[in-house]
């Protein structure tokens, strides 16, 4: 499949990106609309506005993006870009996703850094930290409620939390202890255990 875009799913004559530049601009646009998560905007823009992907294609790509290592939205941009332009498309989509928001976050970071020692700014940042910590905790707990089989599997979530957050063990140690056991159990239970 050298040089040929690999995704053969769908492809029924709908709208397609016309150039690398268009890919870059569209991904930059959806990234800049996303505060606290870009994924919902990826779906809205790619499926509903541009109609480059059907809903089923998007879901299939997303499932794959979640399976592979790395941030889901980054993986998704690589796949979508690859679909029409091979690796150049992947770079264009990833560049749009990361580049412009990176410039903004750096500017904000520099500005905040200049005043971060001011007592008022310090209190504001601390207050935002209190809220942001809750947002991240809430995001994690929401994933629990989305599972069909929370009780048994929660043991692994709890052990990971205890090891990483409370005992402050290295990430690689936590994963080395838990991941083989969890994957082995899932393997023995078979595909049924994963049905949603």
Q: How far apart are CA 7 and CA 23, in angstroms?
A: 16
Distance set, CA 48 to CA 2, 16, 52, 176 (Å): 31, 13, 9, 41
Residue selected from 3, 12, 13, 36 as contacting other proteins according to rule CB under 8 A:
36
**Rule CB under 8 A: is residue 25 a binding residue for other proteins?**
no
- Classify residue 44 as exposed, middle or buried by CB count within 10 Å of its CB (0-12, 13-18, 19+): middle
CB of 57 to other proteins, least distance (A): 13
**Rule CB under 8 A: is residue 3 a binding residue for other proteins?**
no
**Rule CB under 8 A: is residue 151 a binding residue for other proteins?**
no
Residue selected from 46, 79, 92, 93 as contacting other proteins according to rule CB under 8 A:
79
Taking the CB of residue 149, how many other CB atoms lie within 10 A of it? 12
Q: How far apart are CA 111 and CA 103, in angstroms?
A: 12
Task: Rank residues 14 and 170 by Cβ distance to other proteins and give the closer one.
Answer: 170
**Rule CB under 8 A: is residue 51 a binding residue for other proteins?**
no
160-191 burial by CB neighbour count: b if 16+ within 10 A, else e? beebeeeeebeeeebeeebeeebeeeeeeeee
Q: How far apart are CA 79 and CA 7, in angstroms?
A: 8
Residue selected from 33, 51, 55, 88 as contacting other proteins according to rule CB under 8 A:
33
**Rule CB under 8 A: is residue 16 a binding residue for other proteins?**
no
**Rule CB under 8 A: is residue 98 a binding residue for other proteins?**
yes
**Rule CB under 8 A: is residue 92 a binding residue for other proteins?**
no
**Rule CB under 8 A: is residue 88 a binding residue for other proteins?**
no
**Rule CB under 8 A: is residue 6 a binding residue for other proteins?**
yes
Selected range binding other proteins among 11-19, 43-51, 106-114, rule: CB under 8 A: 106-114
């Amino acid at each position: 499949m050298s040089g040929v875009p690999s995704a053969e799913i769908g492809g029924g004559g709908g709208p397609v990106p016309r150039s690398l530049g268009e890919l870059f601009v569209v991904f930059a646009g959806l990234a800049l609309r996303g505060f606290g998560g870009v994924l919902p905007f990826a779906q809205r823009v790619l499926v509903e506005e541009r109609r480059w992907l059907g809903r089923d294609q998007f879901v299939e790509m997303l499932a794959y993006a979640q399976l592979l290592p790395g941030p889901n939205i980054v993986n998704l941009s690589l796949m979508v870009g690859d679909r029409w332009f091979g690796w150049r498309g992947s770079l264009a989509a990833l560049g749009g996703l990361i580049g412009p928001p990176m410039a903004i976050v750096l500017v904000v970071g520099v500005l905040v850094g200049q005043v971060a020692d001011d007592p008022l700014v310090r209190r504001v940042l601390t207050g935002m930290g209190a809220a942001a910590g809750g947002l991240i905790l809430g995001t994690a707990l929401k994933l629990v409620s989305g599972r069909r089989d929370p009780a048994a599997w929660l043991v692994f979530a709890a052990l990971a939390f205890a090891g990483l957050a409370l005992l402050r063990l290295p990430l690689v140690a936590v994963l080395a202890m838990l991941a083989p056991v969890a994957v082995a159990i899932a393997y023995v239970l078979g595909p049924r255990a994963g049905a949603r």
